[in-house]
Amino acid sequence: MSQSASVKPEPNPSPRPKPLILDNLPNLPGVAECSPRVQQKIDLILLALEALELGGSEQMLATARELELQGIIENRVTLWRLRCSNPWRRSHVRDALTLDQAKALAIVASMRARKLTVLIRQLLVARQQIQQKGLPLEQHFRLSEYLERFRAHFRSRMNAKRAKVAFYLASNDRLNDLAMSLLSQLLFCTGTAGMQRFWVSLFDGEVL
């Protein structure tokens, strides 16, 4: 007489502990999740970082690993999906970022900006000097390279049917202005308590 074998269910893997570095960013009163506007801001900052250095996405993943954020930013696909929460994206996903996901992306952005502080300052100074002389920004090779990469990234990834995206796509000057504005925001991330100030700034106008 055959006996039926009993199969013990495999225990569920224990959840990964929450990365301690997330505690460096405050929970804001009345904020339970990220609005589309916050998601758009985070992705554009990351887009500017990609334009600053070749292999920007890989650098972000390496930074996430160094900070033990793999439980949130596991790999390239995960990073792409998180960034597609930006409603301006062609491949927009409707899932809102959790606060922990947004914090992880903001921390990675701040850390990458800190490593690129010298370059960011150089480009902002170059822009000021070129404008004072009344010359086009393309006169500075490194600045021109940054702007060209940013415009290419923006055009290839953003949905031209969105009114705000179409506004920027209407001219190189508008895209250049956006790229330089984001560069100033990246510099904002690099100073004392820059990570915390950047995080709070994402919610300007949303926190009562």
- Measured at the alpha carbon of residue 94, what is the angle toward residues 110 and 68, in degrees to the nearest 5? 35
187 pLDDT higher than 80: yes
Instruction: Return d(Cα 181, Cα 186) in angstroms, integer.
Output: 9
Domain boundary assignment for the chain: 31-189
* Averaged pLDDT, 52-58: 91
User: Which residues, in sequence order, are CB contacts of 166 under 8 Å at separation 6+?
Assistant: 160
Cα atoms found within 13 Å of the Cα of residue 201, Cβ hemisphere only: 17
Please report which confidence band the pLDDT of residue 208 belongs to, taking 50, 70 and 90 as the band edges: very low
Q: Which amino acid is at 116?
A: L
* Averaged pLDDT, 127-141: 88
9 pLDDT higher than 70: no
CA-to-CA separations, 57 to 28, 74, 78, 108, 110, in angstroms, rounded: 28, 13, 11, 11, 14
Kindly report which listed range (28-37, 124-133, 192-201) carries the lowest average pLDDT score: 28-37
Kindly give the interhelix angle for 56-66 and 36-52, rounded to the nearest 10 degrees.
Answer: 110
Token pair for 191 = 């100073």
Please report which confidence band the pLDDT of residue 128 belongs to, taking 50, 70 and 90 as the band edges: very high
* Averaged pLDDT, 149-176: 96
For residues 125 and 118, the answer to whether their CB atoms sit within 8 Å is no
